Structure 1
């Protein structure tokens, strides 16, 4: 593995790392509290060859929340994500619940997506259930 440009391997390129913390649309001022209470989305690591470039491989909302079942198969298969470290794994079958803002097994009452009132409001304007219905 390594950096490729035009199909050829490129040597002597220093990788640049950046942390990506997706937003779930809920109260942006409470993100420190999210860390302390183990709520909210996970933080991802992105690697690029040029530090001036914004990471293009940011995970989509459906990807980081594990609700890819509603996506088209082509969009999910073409992501460039690398498998995470073993110590960062959660139990299998868990997805992000936008209602409780925790990772849990999908069941009745679980939200698979949400649109908040006014962008960052307290009240949801629309939510999607586990079946994908808005």
Structure 2
């Protein structure tokens, strides 16, 4: 059983809870992640509780249009997203789809990013 974290965007309009043992965060080098600066940790669906209706967030889809990036319409922060589905090439290499949420660890209360290992993801190469 992981620790229960409270999460929110900058202005607090978007709130969520996540239960996780966060042993790393992902740093992706794709065009959007480089500019966004989010530090991501993937969490199974059952361990995330979104307290703000998704209809109150702004949705952005790009690339393959299978990933869903949710933003606060007030402050613009991305607290969480649905990861993109693997491309046919990625599936051929054995990458399985992930059915859960990718949490922006920068939005978690009482979480020390400085003490957490970073795993570099080469999204620019996919």
TM-score under structure 1 length normalisation: 0.23
Higher relative contact order (CA 8 A, sep 6+): 2
TM-score under structure 2 length normalisation: 0.24
